[in-house]
Amino acid sequence: MKSNITLIFEKGIDEELQNYIPEMDIEVADLKEIIPQILLRNDIPIPNVPEIVIVRHFVKLSHKNYGVDTGIYPLGSCTMKYNPKINESIERLPGFSQIHPLQEENQGSIKLLYNISKFLGEITGMDRFTLQPAAGAHGELAGLLIMKKYFEHKGIKKEKIIVPDSAHGTNPASAKMAGFSIIELKSNEQGEVPLDHLEYAMQGGDVAGIMLTNPNTLGIFDRHIKEITQIVHNNGGLCYYDGANLNPMLGICRPRDMGFDIVHLNLHKTFATPHGGGGPGSGPIGVINDLSPFLPEPCIISTENGLVCKESTGKSIGRIKSFWGNFGVIVRAYAYILALGAEGLLRVGQIAVLNANYLRVLLQKKYYLPFNRACQHEFVISDKNMANNITTEDIAKRILDYGIYAPTIYFPLIIQGALMIEPTETESKESLDYFVEIMNKIYEEAKENPHLLKNAPHNLPVKRLDAVIAARKPVLHD
């Protein structure tokens, strides 16, 4: 599909503008004498346009971008919050950004890594952390490999793992990659784990434990969480906590106190790093003491002689990322945690929950809310109440027309036509009200003018795409 954006290559040359730079009056070097033949390129189609044309072209393109710096980004599960710019400045300090991990002068960086491990320990209750995993899913894989190694070490064969159907999609994928087969547990009418089914599944014998996303992808905190971990432990299993979105828990409760043995956090979601399109991320995992010998190496430990890299325990799952992980993301999270302090983090959690519930209550006046109860940082509505067979996709495309980004759609899979909304704590009441106003307008449009929705978006450079062709045969140019 052709968009209405003119490419820089299609711009004409305005000779007058072009001519303000004087003609070159020095001899032009013969590149063939300087650059090896094999590296010489002759016909590079560099557009020959004046500076002002280039500047305007790229500035205009940048205005077509949408990001959290332009408006609300209510993408459920992804926690697209506003990231304070000071974290960017701190990460870019030469002492952090220009240092090589093998330089001897990196004691400051090692101290930062050590300190943030301690902070994460306080926040989650876990004994020891590794900062190596480069993303949430990577942390899950590392955590499950630890689980596997733990049982192997004990000489117990455990090949299965329980994953509720309200888990994040990466959970079963990581479990499979770690070599487990998956027992899926169907959520009950409250959107929680049915304890009797869990008990039954655990008694199956070779079950290594459970992988729980909490709050789950419905934005629901499982009220029986302590019973869940107890059932798993009573049956010789371990409990893995997917804490990618720990926002709503910050300063309020801790996975360790709920009975979990391993937890991963997404620093890029819970704390502060602008992310999206696959990165950059950081998914540290924390474990209880019994599991710490299995953590990826090297670990940093504190001794009488200062901070040192601890040598191999012989039980580690090995290295899973070069050096210390995605250091820049870790620095941003560190700056964010220090700036907020314990009270600030608690407030982040409280407002994340308040904002989500504010939206939920206002939107459920019109939209269908399958699990009608207080939510955590996000909630899920669906297209069930929409007039004229208007679908979730139509709603999402129409939202774009109103100049804001659409929520996550068709996920979680357990709700047909899901729209998963996470406002985050950084949105003001004004911006939440604007979102509600748009959603209400769209609801009315569905009744009165469904074609408007069916053909949306109308005022973006690219109109409605054939999603199947776009996914299967993407045209990434022209």
Ligand X SMILES: *Cc1c(COP(=O)(O)O)cnc(C)c1O
Q: Which stretch binds ligand X (CB under 6 A): 114-122, 237-245, 249-257, 361-369?
A: 237-245
Pick from 50, 74, 136, 237: which binds ligand X (CB under 6 A)? 136
Q: Which stretch binds ligand X (CB under 6 A): 111-119, 240-248, 312-320, 376-384?
A: 240-248
Pick from 68, 120, 137, 175: which binds ligand X (CB under 6 A)? 137
Q: Map residues 152-181 to x or -, x wherever contact with ligand X holds by CB under 6 A.
A: ----------------x-x-----------
Does 210 bind ligand X (CB under 6 A)? Our answer is no
Choice between 106 and 408, CB closer to ligand X: 408
User: Shortest approach of ligand X to residue 136 CB, angstroms?
Assistant: 2
User: Shortest approach of ligand X to residue 134 CB, angstroms?
Assistant: 8
Angstrom distance (rounded) from CA 351 to CA 140: 27
Q: For CA atoms 189, 191, 195, 197, give the dihedral sign.
A: positive
Does 445 bind ligand X (CB under 6 A)? Our answer is no
Instruction: Fill in the amino acid letter for 214.
Output: N
Does 237 bind ligand X (CB under 6 A)? Our answer is no
Does 187 bind ligand X (CB under 6 A)? Our answer is no
Does 242 bind ligand X (CB under 6 A)? Our answer is yes
Does 283 bind ligand X (CB under 6 A)? Our answer is yes
Q: Which stretch binds ligand X (CB under 6 A): 16-24, 133-141, 449-457, 469-477?
A: 133-141
Does 266 bind ligand X (CB under 6 A)? Our answer is yes
Site for ligand X in 293-352 (CB under 6 A): none
Pick from 135, 178, 232, 375: which binds ligand X (CB under 6 A)? 135
Instruction: Fill in the amino acid letter for 165.
Output: D
Does 87 bind ligand X (CB under 6 A)? Our answer is no
Site for ligand X in 43-82 (CB under 6 A): 77
- Point out which residues bind ligand X (CB under 6 A): 77, 135-137, 168, 170, 213, 242, 244-245, 266, 281, 283
